[in-house]
């Protein structure tokens, strides 16, 4: 293949993956007996009234006796382990047309099937034969491979048809169940990942809770008991989440190994701990047809609240002048929010569940995406209403997540605050004040004032930190960052010359220098998110003032300019993301507009142990503020930086 053709095919692949495909529109006539979305098809026992929510997801009306979902494609079928005893290990075999799942005791011997053209089907359609007497009877899944007939040897093999339906050689038995197929070994073949016998694929869940998932057994916290068995009768106010597993590698990442494409068309690593789900979508059963312009209710948990576009308080939407590096491709952000984000595993293990074609998988890229998307909503640009709607939908889903349990550590508090502020839902906005939220947020546990430090490692270098409570950070700042609470994870109260003690005395491999690298990863994307929360009046509802002070410190402290010598000597570090808001656009926005939305933390007075703020051009120290009347202006009074 010429380089020119290869380049064209590469960019066509990006277009194919990155943007929604043109597909059949459903429910235009008001009812359907089946609905397809993102490659997932729900089939019902009859036609039901149906339609779409604001974000394009489908609803189906329960007419009184429930909606009978008789099947979901990709269908889930299990071949028991006992069925495969003659061929206890299996390998993936690939050619340049498609993938074939094979069960074989020898690498490379996944063969034995003949492509034969249908006699009664259109030109170019072929079907599987195991031998002349045993045809694989799946005419609805025939594969178009041109005019070639592919013939292989050694017919007595078991395997998977290319839609993952299991087939077996003559004389074998097959038991079918309603959960995903048991497949493949734990080795690799030709650099492609193969999976252990027992992987379960393409699961569906109803009103999923938080802490487990039933989509794919290669993903963390798998619980087979939560998988929906079809046919299944679903009543009103229920959310059916269906998935497609990422079965195989799609691209090569060189030294990093095999990869699979994400929603932007980029090749992302494909191995244990990384996303094993390709995509997912939500079908909502309702008791009556929602009004046009209704948002889909959250899919996690049993409470289904229905909000409308008409509920949006447009007075809160800003229209600021765009900065020079403002993104022009708003469709990119719309596509990244189009599909549901699965976040209902706790902490970092949720990464393996984040669907590749729905969202980014790592908290850094998720926060980076969100901060620019939120900042775009502040600008005076055309056609931003759809982006706002999609961010509201994302926030509604996040509300359902965090009120049902401890979700992914890639969740931002602002996801809920953005939605509740614009929708005017006080109960939703109060979840961080009244304890309704059950999720811990990195924005909270990572930011703290020195006196809140929990480390038992005292400093012999930083003045005032030889006893607890600690007084100040090693750079003289009064607001700090930590990976987690505890001796192994707090480094900023210690001088860099003492950071190795986190390893030698507290057991954290890499010590404080490793934590400092994570400080860069986390901090850079926070200032933009904090500013959007402030623009909506969300500081009080956020219920963690130190987060906003810390993001101001991050942007204003000339950290590397003043402390490069220590970083080089003790951490061998020559740079970082300090004073960056994660993108040129976000950095511009912070400098242009941050002061519009409340007081800015500027410094710390170590003599009086007081934070210093600037409010509407006036600077004050909290040491001088003992009463609300001491604040120098209205902005300072409303912001209440000193927490009177």
Q: How far apart, in Å, are the Cα atoms of 555 and each of 476, 480, 594, 604, 612? A: 15, 13, 11, 15, 15
Q: What is the mean pLDDT of residues 507-532?
A: 98
Q: Flag the least confident range among 182-196, 374-388, 401-415.
A: 182-196
Question: 643: how many CB neighbours lie within 10 A of its CB?
Answer: 7
Same-domain pairing of 410 and 484: no
Per-residue model confidence as pLDDT tens digits over 544-560: 999 999 999 999 999 99
* pLDDT given for residue 435 in this prediction: 95
* pLDDT given for residue 199 in this prediction: 61
CA distance 520 to 517: 5
Q: Is the pLDDT of residue 92 over 50?
A: no
Name the more confident of 142 and 507.
507
In a domain, 9, yes or no: no
Q: Flag the least confident range among 59-68, 132-141, 474-483, 567-576.
A: 132-141
Same-domain pairing of 293 and 314: yes
Instruction: Return the SS3 of 160.
Output: strand
CA distance 240 to 524: 36
* pLDDT given for residue 150 in this prediction: 28
Name the more confident of 334 and 201.
334
In a domain, 3, yes or no: no
Same-domain pairing of 414 and 288: yes
Q: What is the mean pLDDT of residues 60-67?
A: 97
Same-domain pairing of 247 and 364: yes
Question: 4: how many CB neighbours lie within 10 A of its CB?
Answer: 8
Most confident of 2-6, 154-158, 227-231, 411-415: 411-415
Question: 224: how many CB neighbours lie within 10 A of its CB?
Answer: 13
CA distance 85 to 395: 48
Same-domain pairing of 238 and 360: yes
Local confidence band at 197 (pLDDT 50, 70, 90 cut-offs): very low
Local confidence band at 98 (pLDDT 50, 70, 90 cut-offs): very low
Q: What is the mean pLDDT of residues 244-267?
A: 87
Same-domain pairing of 374 and 424: yes
In a domain, 472, yes or no: yes
In a domain, 152, yes or no: no
In a domain, 436, yes or no: no
Smallest CA-to-CA distance from 218 within 181, 178, 265 is with: 181
Same-domain pairing of 385 and 268: yes
Q: Flag the least confident range among 21-35, 114-128, 421-435.
A: 114-128
Name the more confident of 77 and 519.
519
Local confidence band at 347 (pLDDT 50, 70, 90 cut-offs): confident
Q: Is the pLDDT of residue 101 over 60?
A: no
* pLDDT given for residue 83 in this prediction: 31
Q: Mean pLDDT of all residues in the chain?
A: 82
Beta bridge partners of 42: 35, 72
Same-domain pairing of 447 and 418: no
Out of 401, 430, 459, a domain closes at 430
Local confidence band at 114 (pLDDT 50, 70, 90 cut-offs): very low
Same-domain pairing of 493 and 405: no
In a domain, 644, yes or no: no
- Determine the distance from the C-alpha atom of residue 95 to the mean position of all C-alpha atoms in its chain, rounded to a whole number: 32
Out of 563, 580, 597, a domain closes at 597
Same-domain pairing of 236 and 378: yes
In a domain, 626, yes or no: no
Smallest CA-to-CA distance from 338 within 425, 264, 402, 403 is with: 264
| Domain span at 205 | 199-430
CA distance 42 to 244: 13
Concatenating the DSSP letter of every residue in 558-601 gives -HHHHHHHHHHHHH------TT--SSHHHHHHHHHHGGGGS-EE
Q: Flag the least confident range among 244-253, 303-312, 338-347, 504-513.
A: 244-253
Number of Cα atoms under 13 Å in the Cβ half of residue 447: 22
Local confidence band at 313 (pLDDT 50, 70, 90 cut-offs): very high
In a domain, 27, yes or no: no
Q: How far apart are the first and last CA of the chain?
A: 71
Out of 582, 597, 612, a domain closes at 597
* pLDDT given for residue 60 in this prediction: 98
Q: Flag the least confident range among 16-20, 74-78, 323-327.
A: 16-20
Q: What is the mean pLDDT of residues 200-219?
A: 90
Beta bridge partners of 294: 308
Residue carrying the six token digits 């990195």 = 442
* pLDDT given for residue 129 in this prediction: 36
Same-domain pairing of 416 and 458: no
Q: What is the mean pLDDT of residues 424-437?
A: 97
At residue 169, φ and ψ (nearest 5 deg) are -70, 165
Smallest CA-to-CA distance from 38 within 393, 356, 251, 270 is with: 356
Q: Flag the least confident range among 29-43, 86-100, 193-207, 594-608.
A: 86-100
Smallest CA-to-CA distance from 107 within 189, 162, 184, 168 is with: 189
Same-domain pairing of 468 and 398: no
Q: Flag the least confident range among 189-198, 331-340, 435-444.
A: 189-198
Q: Which residues contact 87 (CB under 8 A, 6 or more apart)?
A: 103, 104, 105, 157, 158
Local confidence band at 335 (pLDDT 50, 70, 90 cut-offs): very high
Q: What is the mean pLDDT of residues 418-440?
A: 97
* pLDDT given for residue 537 in this prediction: 97
User: How many folded domains does the chain comprise?
Assistant: 2
The percentage of residues in the chain with a pLDDT greater than 90, rounded to a whole number, is 69
């Amino acid at each position: 293949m010429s380089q020119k053709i290869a380049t064209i095919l590469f960019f066509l692949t990006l277009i194919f993956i990155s943007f929604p495909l043109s597909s059949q529109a459903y429910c235009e006539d008001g009812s359907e007996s089946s609905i397809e979305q993102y490659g997932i098809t729900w089939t019902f026992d009859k036609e039901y009234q149906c339609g779409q929510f604001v974000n394009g997801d489908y609803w189906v009306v329960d007419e009184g006796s429930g909606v009978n979902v008789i099947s979901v494609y990709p269908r889930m079928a299990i071949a028991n382990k006992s069925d495969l005893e003659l061929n206890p290990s299996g390998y993936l075999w690939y050619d340049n047309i498609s993938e074939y799942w094979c069960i074989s005791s020898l690498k490379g011997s996944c063969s034995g099937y003949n492509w034969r053209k249908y006699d009664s089907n259109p030109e170019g359609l072929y079907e599987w034969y195991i031998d002349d007497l045993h045809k694989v009877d799946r005419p609805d899944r025939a594969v178009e491979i041109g005019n070639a007939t592919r013939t292989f040897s050694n017919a007595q093999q078991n395997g998977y048809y290319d839609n993952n339906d299991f087939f077996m050689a003559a004389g074998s038995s097959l038991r079918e169940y309603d959960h995903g197929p048991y497949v493949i070994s734990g080795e690799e073949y030709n650099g492609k990942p193969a999976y252990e016998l027992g992987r379960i694929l393409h699961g569906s869940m109803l009103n999923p809770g938080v802490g487990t998932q039933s989509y794919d057994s290669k993903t963390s916290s798998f619980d087979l008991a939560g998988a929906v068995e079809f046919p299944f009768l679903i009543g009103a106010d229920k959310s059916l989440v269906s998935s497609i597993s990422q079965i195989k590698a799609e691209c090569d990442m060189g030294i990093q190994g095999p990869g699979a494409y994400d929603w932007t068309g980029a090749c992302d690593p494909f191995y244990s701990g990384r996303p094993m789900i390709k995509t997912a979508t939500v079908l909502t059963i309702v008791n009556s047809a929602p009004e046009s312009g209704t948002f889909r209710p959250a899919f996690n948990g049993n409470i289904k609240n229905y909000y409308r576009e008409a509920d949006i308080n447009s007075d809160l939407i800003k229209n600021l002048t765009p900065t020079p590096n403002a993104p022009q491709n708003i469709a990119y952000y719309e596509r990244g929010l189009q599909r549901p984000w699965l976040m209902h595993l706790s902490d970092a293990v949720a990464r393996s569940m984040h669907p590749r074609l729905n969202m980014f998988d790592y908290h850094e890229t998720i926060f980076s995406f969100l901060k620019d998307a939120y900042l775009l909503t502040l600008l005076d640009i055309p056609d931003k209403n759809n982006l706002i709607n999609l961010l509201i939908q994302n926030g509604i889903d996040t509300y359902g997540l965090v009120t049902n349990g401890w979700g992914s550590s890639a969740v931002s508090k602002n996801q809920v605050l953005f939605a509740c502020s614009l929708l005017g839902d006080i109960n939703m906005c109060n979840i961080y004040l009244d304890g309704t939220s059950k999720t811990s947020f990195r924005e909270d546990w990572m930011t703290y004032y020195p006196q809140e430090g929990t480390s038992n490692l005292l400093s012999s270098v930083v003045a005032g930190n030889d006893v607890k409570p600690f007084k100040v950070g090693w750079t003289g700042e009064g607001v700090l960052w930590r990976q987690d609470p505890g001796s192994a994870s707090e480094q900023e109260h210690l001088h860099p010359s003492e950071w190795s003690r986190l390893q030698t005395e507290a057991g954290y491999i890499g010590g404080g220098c490793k934590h400092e690298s994570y400080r860069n990863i986390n901090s850079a994307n926070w200032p933009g998110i904090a500013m959007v929360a402030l623009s909506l009046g969300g500081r009080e509802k956020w219920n963690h003032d130190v987060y906003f002070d810390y993001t101001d410190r991050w942007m204003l402290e000339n950290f590397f300019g003043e402390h490069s010598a220590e970083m080089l000597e003790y951490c061998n570090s020559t740079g970082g993301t300090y004073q960056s808001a994660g993108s040129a656009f976000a950095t511009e926005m912070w400098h242009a507009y941050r002061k519009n939305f409340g007081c800015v933390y500027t410094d710390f007075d170590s003599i009086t142990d007081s934070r210093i703020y600037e409010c509407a051009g006036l600077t004050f120290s909290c040491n001088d503020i003992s009463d609300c009347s001491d604040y120098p202006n209205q902005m300072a009074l409303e912001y209440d930086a000193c927490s009177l």
